[in-house]
Structure 1
Amino acid sequence: MNTTLTAVPGFRVGHWTDPVGQTGCTVILPPPEGAVASASFLGPSPATREGVLLSPEKKVERVHGLLLTGGSAFGLSAAGGVVRWLEERGIGHPTHFARVPIVPAAVIYDLGMGDPDARPGEAQGYLAAQAASSEPVNRGRVGAGTGASIGKYLGPAQTAAGGLGSVYLSRHGVSVGVLAVVNPIGDVYSPGGELLAGPGVGPGAAAFAPNDLENTTLIAVVTQHTLSKNDARRLADAAQTALARVIRPSHTYWDGDSAFVLSSAALPEADPLLLGALVQDAVALAVADAVLSQRE
């Protein structure tokens, strides 16, 4: 039984993983007609591509892919490979002279975990898109989560392995899928309050100067329920608030968290209260899953 993001009909996920260099990228593909999308960016240093385009007031509503990647800002070049893969299949925003694929992207900083010269690029983004399927999402130290780490407020020696998690939740006919790339400065806890990864002692236990470029959690939420861009933005904000349940501290001066919401609009609108609650529960579970899936 598929209990990951790809249980939402029409959405596919593909990874490219470098286990030696400890980096990778992950692509989420909606149906060919694209998905209505928006996003929320918190923290001082989010590294993104096409992030401004996702603001509710901007004209283009639908995206044709989403790239989550390691490699810091270098990794954003992998989006070019996703764009090329989509263009070859005639997928994109219609213009007079070509269909232009819209592919937002966001990165984590993982250069210190393996080989700092190992970074996803255009070829790797293409391969991740090519690998995308509706099979259950591979989780743990794969794709964009390969070089992720957790609990860095005491310094490199005390960090724990981060990773990639994914869940699918459905209640009363409303469903969402979530994928999380978990790379925070804080500790990760289960929704029930159990410490899952990190020192667990909290900041201030030792003198250490963190780097504001090295900590980010990336969230992708997908649903079939019809959303406007404004609706998607509100759900992206809800996804951000859910991080505080399971990452402590969350949204610090040293985190650049990014949350994306994509709707295929294949189903009617859902009760917004139920949908928002479901998104928050699913985000909390996906963050925990990034750790727990490594123990399976």
Structure 2
Amino acid sequence: MSLSSPSSFADRCARADGGITRVQGIEVGHYTDARRPTGCTVVMARAGAVGGVDVRGAAPGTRETDLLHPTNLVEQVHAVMLAGGSAWGLDAATGAVQWLEEHGVGLDVHYARLPLVPAAVLFDLGVGDARIRPDAQAGYAACAAASSAAPAEGNVGAGTGACVGKVFGMARAMKGGIGTASVTVDGVTVGAIIACNALGDVLDPDTAQVVAGARSEDGRQLLDTRRALLRGDAPRPILAGSNTTIGVIATDARITKAQAHRLAVVSHDGLARAINPVHTMSDGDTLFTLGTGASGKTLGMMTLATMAAEATALATLRAVLCARSLTTAEGLHLPAAADIAAP
């Protein structure tokens, strides 16, 4: 049976309840490289935001994560950079620092304003020419494009070269992407933006139905990686660190640094609802949190945590629903969720 028609997938992608920019004080900008499928995405909080992070995958590529630990000195950061290009892509954060400094954004360290920009990268080097990856110029361009408008989703920014469902080889994988979602309760909003380049499948978090992931040997149907592994199908050898889902969860609630860290931790519950398998030895799954406090309100952590996990799960789903199929010059074909039948 068909999982869905292409038009219904387009409809589901268009019917957004709102993305991370519904959070007061948050802007998002993408840079998409026209030379090959790669790019970067900046999530900016010009006035500063309390930051947190939680790394669950075993093969992360990150920058400035230690300063976000609740016991360390710095309270606020000014942006988070998400990028393709594996470790090379971390250079995109340098461009963000330059742009923010030029615009007077940063921590006052007496002699200058120092922008603080943590970052995380995903591995998209197998999609097109690996010599092309996001650099400082790309990060600068993403900042210049940032706004509070609803962010583009799918094959843009850090999600441009993302793919999912690689347990049985790249030839049976599908197109990933970047997605965003938000939840509002009592005047407080929690939003997420997720670049999904998972080793595993992506599921609808409400139905647990596989939406995108590893395909059958003929490439025409979704395989369902979890069930395939449990019945004894052997995974293909996987290059360590060649996957990773990265993202930012932001709220305009007033939160402490310890609470920001806890929201990053529980947001991974949203990933676990939408990706299976997740947090593997070949993923570097990393989620950041930003608290702008711009609503002037607080909510109990039970509610905020539930909102954070929900927004993360929905944004992960939208990352593949909004993706489009891709064929590289080298002949790699990555169909989108709308193109493949259900298992």
* 1:142 equivalent in structure 2: 156
Gaps of 5+ in 2: 1-15, 215-223, 325-337, 339-343
Contact 2:176 2:323 in 1 (8 A): no
Shift of 1:215: 1.2
In structure 1, what is the equivalent of residue 19 of structure 2?
A: 4
Give TM-score scaled by structure 2 length.
Answer: 0.83
Of residues 38, 44, 61, the one that matches 1:23 is 38
Q: How does 1:258-273 map to 2 (within 5 A)?
A: 258-266=286-294, 267-273=296-302
Deviates most, 202-211 or 262-271: 202-211
Aligned residues: 295
- Show the counterpart of 1:225: 253
In 2, Cα distance between equivalents of 1:285 and 1:166: 7
Alignment equivalent of 2:306, drawn from 258, 264, 277: 277
* TM superposition shift of 1:38: 0.8
Q: CA RMSD in A?
A: 1.4
3-state SS in 2 of match to 1:129: helix
**Contact map agreement 1:85 1:126 (CA 8 A) in 2:** yes
Residue 51 of structure 1 is aligned with which of 65, 87, 96? 65
| CA shift digits 1:84-130 (9 cap, x unpaired) | 00001111111121110000000000000111011110111000000
Q: Structure 1 residue 149: deviation in Å? A: 0.8
Matching of residues 199-278 of structure 1 within 5 Å:
199=214, 200-202=224-226, 203=229, 204-266=232-294, 267-278=296-307
Residues 37-70 of structure 1: per-residue CA shift (max 9 Å, x gap): 0100112211111011111111001001110000
Asked if the contact 2:200/2:225 (under 8 Å) is kept, the reply is no
Contact in 2 for aligned 1:2/1:135 (Cα 8 Å): no
Is residue 2:106 matched to residue 1:92?
yes
Partner of 2:187: 173
Q: TM-score normalized by structure 1?
A: 0.96
Any idea what the Cα deviations from partners look like across 1:180-224, whole Å, max 9, x if unmatched? 000111100011212111122333523411122111111211111
Task: Please tell me whether Structure 1 or Structure 2 has the larger radius of gyration of its CA atoms.
Answer: 2
Q: AA paired with 1:287?
A: T
Identity of aligned residues (%): 43
1:108 is aligned to 122
Indicate conservation of the 8 Å contact 1:2/1:136, yes or no: no
What SS is found at the alignment partner of 2:81? strand
Structure 1: 4+ residue segments shifted above 6 A: none
Aligned to 2:293, the other structure's residue is in SS state: strand
In the alignment, residue 37 of structure 1 is paired with which amino acid? Answer: G
Q: In structure 1, the residue corresponding to 2:236 is in which secondary structure?
A: coil
CA contact (8 A) 2:225 2:276 kept: no
Output the CA distance in 2 between the equivalents of 1:161 and 1:294.
6
Secondary structure, aligned partner of 1:278? helix
Paired amino acid for 2:19: T
